[in-house]
Chain A
Amino acid sequence: GQQVMQIPQYQHVQEGEDFTTYCNSSTTLSNIQWYKQRPGGHPVFLIQLVKSGEVKKQKRLTFQFGEAKKNSSLHITATQTTDVGTYFCAGMEYGNKLVFGAGTILRVKS
């Protein structure tokens, strides 16, 4: 079945440094979604990418969807303490099955 691999599992950065998490799918995706889960909280939808090669920005966050629609990345510029949490990608297969990556835990030192 479909698998979505996400790396790194954990990253600890100094405030102001950049951060990137990567997702790779074993199959071609119809779209990919990104979620953020604050410590002790629930996942909250950030964005959905649909088109091959798509790039979207939300303030300091940049999301990319690969040309082959099998990989994606989330990049945070100049991290802040409010960025801490776990970031999940979720790949949707054709046929509407959504598979989550294992998540990347981000810790930010101030």
Chain B
Amino acid sequence: EAQVTQNPRYLITVTGKKLTVTCSQNMNHEYMSWYRQDPGLGLRQIYYSMNVEVTDKGDVPEGYKVSRKEKRNFPLILESPSPNQTSLYFCASATPQGFTGELFFGEGSRLTVL
């Protein structure tokens, strides 16, 4: 089954404790992206990757890091989480957007930073 898998789905952590949210897709998609969803603000892009070893900042990259060492994986790293990073995070993938554009989303990771 074609899917985007995120882990963990739920996480409560404390300020400053490094964490990683993993994302894996099995559709051989070149494009992957991370979004955060906050009430009234929609989906805001954090980072994206057009292909392996190619990453770029989205609209709200501060406080986050990513890597793309393999095509299927695109982890999101919070080196020193802060309470303003409490949010619902979605990973998404697509074939190059200039071709089809359809994003496939993971089920989301709800993060609470105390």
Contacts and interface: CB of A to CB of B under 8 A. Distances in A.
Interface of A: 1, 6, 9, 31, 33, 35, 41-45, 48, 88, 90, 92, 96, 98-103
Contacts of A102: 40-42
Contact of A98 (B103, B105, B106): B103
A102 B35 CA distance: 13
B102 interface: yes
Contacts of B45: 98-100
A45 B42 contact: no
B108 interface: yes
Interface residues of B, number: 21
5 tightest Cβ-Cβ pairs between the two chains A and B: A102-B42, A100-B43, A42-B105, A96-B97, A45-B102
B47 to A, nearest CB: 13
A92 B101 contact: yes
Contacts of B105: 42-44
Given A31-B101, A33-B102, A92-B101, A42 B108 contact: yes
A42 B42 contact: no
Nearest to A94: B98
A96 B40 contact: no
Contacts of B108: 41-42
15 contacts: A1-B59, A9-B40, A41-B107, A41-B108, A42-B108, A43-B43, A43-B90, A43-B105, A48-B101, A90-B43, A92-B101, A98-B103, A100-B45, A102-B41, A103-B43
A42 to B, nearest CB: 4
